[in-house]
């Protein structure tokens, strides 16, 4: 057993996982921030409903989302019709399909911390900025974003880590294609099923270390940020 026991298939699974997690996190920060802003500020009666929809993946088993995605993105489903009409083919078994699933599944992990941070800011900094004649965009980027920075950090870290930890949905819509949809969690499952325990240990141990380091760094940072 050498120092590096990871074969090329394992390495490609790791690369793919990191790519999926980074893209999911970026997309979610872009999509999730306006949703979080709206949820934090609105007095609309729709707030409860939108909040509930965003939080659904927290309580639903991945199999529910996986099953519906397979149907909805399939040739008879509405998303399947749309992607075929656009000449994109079908999304299951593709990287974009996994990305879409990850964005939906990880949404609450990004939206909720940002929403909490926005709510914690309150009205006063915004009013102060308005009296200084700052426009809404200016206020948002120079006042709100810096104040909500710990929320964004938590959102990004949790979004990334949660995507890395995804398994059930990927298993259901991924089709286990090396380099495209075979992420680390699926690769570990494959190793374990085939009784390749040594290979499984390398990847699984790496996942434990990764998850611990990420959460440790996050909690340490947030503690020191709270103290200042």
Partner 1 sequence: MIRLLLVSLYLLGTSAVAFAGEVQVAVAANFTVPMQKIAADFEKDTGHKAVVSAGATGKFYAQIQSGAPFEVLLSADDTTPAKLEQEGMTVPGSRFTYAIGKLVLWSAKPVFVDDKGKVLKEGKFSHLALANPKTAPYGAAAIEVLKNLGLLDTLSPKFVQGENIAQTQQFVATGNAELGFVALSQVQKDGQLTGGSAWFVPEKLYKPIRQDAVILAKGKGNAAATALMEYLNGDKAKAIIKSFGYTL
The residues binding partner 1 (CB under 8 A) are 70-71, 73-76, 89-90, 92-93, 171-173, 175-177, 189-190, 192-195
Torsion angles phi and psi, residue 194, rounded to 5: -90, 10
The total number of residues written for the chain in this structure: 228
**Cβ of residue 100: shortest distance to partner 1, in angstroms?**
14
Cα–Cα distance for residue pair 32/151, rounded to 1 Å: 12
**Cβ of residue 153: shortest distance to partner 1, in angstroms?**
36
**Cβ of residue 184: shortest distance to partner 1, in angstroms?**
16
Residue 188 and residue 203 in contact, taking contact as beta carbons nearer than 8 Å: yes
- DSSP secondary structure code for residue 10 in this structure: H
Cα–Cα distance for residue pair 218/162, rounded to 1 Å: 14
**Cβ of residue 27: shortest distance to partner 1, in angstroms?**
23
Q: How far is CA 1 from CA 6, 7, 85, 167, in A?
A: 10, 12, 51, 28
**Cβ of residue 8: shortest distance to partner 1, in angstroms?**
15
Output the DSSP codes for 137-193.
HHHIIIIIHHHTHHHHHHHHHHHHHHHHT--HHHHHHH---TTTT--HHHHHHHHHH
Which residue, 98 or 155, is less far from partner 1 as judged by CB? Answer: 98
């Amino acid at each position: 057993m050498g120092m590096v026991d990871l074969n090329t298939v394992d390495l490609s699974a790791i690369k793919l996982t990191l790519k999926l997690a980074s893209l999911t996190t970026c997309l979610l920060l872009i999509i999730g921030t306006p949703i979080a802003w709206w949820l934090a500020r609105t007095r609309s009666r729709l707030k409860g409903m939108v909040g509930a929809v965003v939080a659904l993946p927290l309580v639903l088993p991945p199999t529910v989302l996986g099953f519906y995605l397979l149907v909805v993105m399939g040739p008879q489903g509405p998303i399947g019709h749309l992607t075929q009409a656009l000449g994109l083919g079908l999304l299951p078994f593709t990287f974009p399909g996994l990305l879409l699933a990850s964005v939906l599944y990880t949404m609450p992990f990004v939206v909720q911390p940002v929403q909490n941070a926005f709510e914690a800011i309150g009205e006063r900094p915004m009013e102060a900025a308005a009296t200084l004649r700052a426009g809404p965009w200016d206020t948002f980027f120079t006042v709100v974003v810096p104040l909500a920075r710990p929320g964004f950090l938590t959102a990004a870290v949790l979004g990334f880590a949660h995507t890395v930890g995804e398994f059930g949905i990927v298993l259901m819509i991924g089709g286990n294609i090396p380099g495209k949809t075979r992420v680390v969690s699926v690769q570990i499952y494959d190793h374990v099923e085939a009784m390749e325990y040594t290979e499984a240990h390398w990847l699984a141990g790496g996942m434990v270390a990764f998850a611990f380091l990420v959460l440790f760094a996050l909690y340490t940072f947030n503690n020191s940020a709270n103290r200042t």
